[in-house]
Chain A
Amino acid sequence: MLDKCMIILGIETSCDDTAAAVVTSDRVIKSNIVRTQSTEHLPFGGVVPEIAARAHIEVLDQLIKNALDQANVTFKELDGIAVTGGPGLIGGVIVGVMMAKAIAAVHNLPFLAVNHLAGHALTARLTNDLEFPYLLLLVSGGHCQILIVHGANHFQLLGTTIDDAVGEAFDKIGKLLGFSYPAGPQIESLAKNGNPKRFPFPRPLVGGVKQTSPYAFSFSGLKTAVRTCIQKHLSLTCKDKADICASFQAAVGDVLSDRCHNALKWCEDKKLPLQSLVVAGGVAANEYLRKRLTLIANEHNVNFVAPPVALCTDNAAMIAWAGIERLNLGLSDGLDFAPRPRWSLEEI
Chain B
Amino acid sequence: MKIILGIDTTLDQCSVALLRGTECLSDSQQMQRGQAEILMPKIITLLRKADVSFSDLNMIAVTVGPGSFTSLRIGLATAKGLSLAAQIPIVGFKTFEVLAHSIPTSENNDSNLLVAIDSLRADIYCQLYNPQLIEIESATTLFPEDILNYTGFKNLRAIGNGIHALKEQLSQYHPHVIFPELGASPTSEVLCQMAMKLSPLDYQNSDLRACQPFYLRPPDVTLPR
Contact of A102 among B37, B78, B208 (CB under 8 A): B78
By a CB distance below 8 angstroms, the chain A residues around B131 are none
Q: Does A295 contact B (CB under 8 A)?
A: no
Interface centre among B37, B40, B74, B215 (most CB of A within 10 A): B40
A133 close to chain B: CB less than 8 A: no
Taking beta carbons and an 8 Å cutoff, which residues of B are in contact with A?
Answer: 34, 36-41, 43-44, 54, 69-70, 73-74, 76-86, 208-209, 212-213, 215, 219-221, 223-224
Residue A94 interfacial (CB < 8 Å): yes
Given the interface pairs A43-B223, A53-B73, the reply to whether A61 lies near B41 with Cβ below 8 Å is no
CA distance A99 to B85 in the complex (A): 9
Q: How far in angstroms is the closest Cβ of chain B from A100? A: 7
Contact with B along A79-92 (1 / 0, CB 8 A): 00000000000110
Determine if B70 and A90 form an interchain contact, defined as CB atoms under 8 angstroms apart: yes
| A65 engages B37 (CB within 8 Å) | no
A278 at the interface (CB under 8 A from B): no
**Is A54 among interface residues, defined by CB-CB distance under 8 A?**
yes
Contacts of A44 in B (CB 8 A): 221, 223-224
Q: How many A-B pairs with Cβ below 8 Å? A: 106
Q: Answer yes or no: A5 CB below 8 A from chain B CBs.
A: no
The distance in angstroms between the C-alpha atoms of A25 and B79, with both chains bound, is 29
Residues in chain B near residue A331, CB distance under 8 A: none
Instruction: List A contacts of B220 (CB < 8 A).
Output: 50
The answer to whether B44 and A338 touch across the interface, beta carbons within 8 angstroms, is no
- Given A50-B69, A57-B77, A103-B81, A338 contacting B34 (CB threshold 8 A): yes
Q: How far is the CB of B83 from chain A (nearest CB, A)?
A: 8
Question: How many residues on A have C-beta within 8 angstroms of the other chain's C-beta atoms?
Answer: 37
Residue of B whose beta carbon sits closest to that of A101? B40
The complex places the Cα of A54 from the Cα of B40 at a distance, in Å, of: 21
Cβ contact within 8 Å between B38 and A95? no
Q: Are A337 and B69 in contact (CB under 8 A)?
A: no
What 0/1 pattern do residues 30 to 70 of A give for CB contact below 8 A with B? Answer: 00000000000001110010110110011011101100000
Measured CB to CB, the closest approach of chain A to B189, in angstroms, equals 21
Cα of A42 to Cα of B135 in the assembled complex, Å: 37
Task: Answer whether A53 and B69 are a contact pair too, CB < 8 Å, given A98-B78, A99-B77.
Answer: yes
Question: Of residues B37, B85, B215, B221, which shows the largest number of chain A Cβ atoms within 10 Å of its Cβ?
Answer: B85
The distance from the CB of A7 to the nearest CB of chain B, in whole angstroms, is 15
